[in-house]
Structure 1
């Protein structure tokens, strides 16, 4: 089954198709702004997904850009979907706009490749592990910690259900060894990982890069996601996250380089079968 509808993905596709069609026909921005009687800044926000055209203005644009009937119908459907509200929009005080956009993209993804250096991927974390990561942040109120844990668990719903996405996690051995929250929390988390690998291989893959690996282009890299979509209009996107910054990468050259590095690193990772055994060997007694 296709992934669920995401307003963020719909808005992205709508903006992308309008921008690419305008470029293909060689129509400058001035021609469009004059036709719609809007400012260049307004149209810039449309092409950068910060504004959704009114139905009337979209009708003007699709006529100017000479879309055929099938494309027109698709674009109007995308406009309707883009105006819906995803569950993540309930948390504007917890996350900035870029993180909220990532949550929307993740919700509508078909497949995700993830790399983690020091932590278990958020989509595979237990509640106690997630809470332990967030608790030391003294600037975060307890209620906000619980809301962030709630969001993390909500994200994991896309791993299950009728249309789960494929999740490929590649993690450093360090993520297994670090006793986040203490031995009891670590034990619960590692048992959870082993269980997922043993029962959910249809859509969850976990592979460990051991300390014995002699080279890897991802050594020292931050958290990385590669998001793929089932729609041929939509290219792969990358997400990277550090302690102080996070952002979506849509430059196709950069995404290609990250993808190549990721797949090259996979050659240093243990197989899924060996990873299960390795995870179990790391579980505290």
Structure 2
């Protein structure tokens, strides 16, 4: 997977917090030992702040990390100090959304559910513009352009040297709703057919047909479950609604959404059947 300073900051902070607790140190006590404030140490442990080389070395010494762990921790600090592409959009999106981009970029796999529109990682530029434009009709054209460019940039993970493994479950409504008009929808469905064919090894798109009586995710908001290469890192949940979006790490909520995604997958058509359903709707346009 490509480097992500967001994931590296998070991973380093978790390692430092775990080690501090193993040593029986409270946050304030560890902060006094290392000459920083408790608030600063807390922000480092939660990935909110980046730590300098000197301060990290002080923590490593006081926490007694083994020699085999030191190179990895120092490498995480270096990666955390780099700049992700999403930083270019800091004037357009809030911090939570920027963090989501960073986590998504550094994830090895994503399970997504979308009830009403095609998943954002699979959208064409015209379709994305129509979706984003409809979400806020007062948005000025330059800002809309930047939001669309950011969405297209996120999609690079699908074609990286080590591509993101993506499983998307969508309602049939997502491929029937005439977003942007017939021409835009036709282009979107053509693109969906193309990417699912070209990336069959890493992309799994399932459609829940209209004749399915129900499943746990039905009527719910869009969500993404992000998994990472390190076994030390838990699955993260990104949850979107019309008025709010948030990153969730609570294990129970993550499990609930994972179960809902599995149930939606079971209710959906197979990959091949989903492909042919999209093809039928495309041919009708």
**TM-score between both structures, scaled by the size of structure 1:** 0.96
Q: Distance in 1 between matches of 2:248 and 2:132?
A: 25
What is the match of residue 53 of structure 1?
A: 51
Equivalent residue of 2:86, what SS? Answer: helix
What is the match of residue 227 of structure 1?
A: 226
Equivalent residue of 1:219, what SS? Answer: coil
What is the match of residue 19 of structure 2?
A: 21
Equivalent residue of 1:113, what SS? Answer: strand
What are the within-5 Å matches in structure 2 for residues 79-228 of structure 1? Answer: 79-136=77-134, 137-228=136-227
Deviates more, 1:189-198 or 1:7-16: 189-198
Q: Distance in 1 between matches of 2:41 and 2:19?
A: 14
Q: Distance in 2 between matches of 1:25 and 1:261?
A: 38
Give the superposition deviation at 1:135.
2.2
Equivalent residue of 1:222, what SS? Answer: coil
Give the superposition deviation at 1:161.
3.1
What is the match of residue 5 of structure 1?
A: 3
Deviates more, 1:259-268 or 1:89-98: 259-268
Deviations 1:223-242 (A, max 9, x none): 11011111112111110011
Answer whether contact 2:20 2:30 (CA < 8 A) is retained. Answer: no
Q: Distance in 1 between matches of 2:59 and 2:255?
A: 32
Deviates more, 1:53-62 or 1:111-120: 53-62
Q: Distance in 1 between matches of 2:50 and 2:67?
A: 20
Q: Distance in 1 between matches of 2:95 and 2:251?
A: 22
Give the superposition deviation at 1:243.
1.6
Uncovered stretches (5+) of structure 2, i.e. residues with no partner: none
Equivalent residue of 1:170, what SS? Answer: strand
Instruction: State the number of aligned residues.
Output: 283
Q: Distance in 1 between matches of 2:79 and 2:279?
A: 44
Give the superposition deviation at 1:134.
1.8
Equivalent residue of 1:70, what SS? Answer: coil
Equivalent residue of 1:240, what SS? Answer: strand
**TM-score between both structures, scaled by the size of structure 2:** 0.96
What is the match of residue 66 of structure 1?
A: 64
Cα distance change, pair 208–10 in 1 and its aligned pair in 2 (3 A)? same
Q: Distance in 1 between matches of 2:275 and 2:31?
A: 58
Deviations 1:27-71 (A, max 9, x none): 111221111222221222111212222222211211222110121
Q: Distance in 1 between matches of 2:138 and 2:277?
A: 36
Q: Distance in 2 between matches of 1:172 and 1:41?
A: 44
Answer yes or no: is 1:254 the counterpart of 2:253.
yes
Answer whether contact 1:197 1:272 (CA < 8 A) is retained. Answer: no
Answer whether contact 1:114 1:223 (CA < 8 A) is retained. Answer: yes
Deviates more, 1:118-127 or 1:34-43: 34-43
Q: Distance in 2 between matches of 1:232 and 1:66?
A: 22
RMSD of the alignment, in Å?
1.2
Uncovered stretches (5+) of structure 1, i.e. residues with no partner: none
Equivalent residue of 1:69, what SS? Answer: coil
Give the superposition deviation at 1:189.
0.6
Answer yes or no: is 1:39 the counterpart of 2:37.
yes
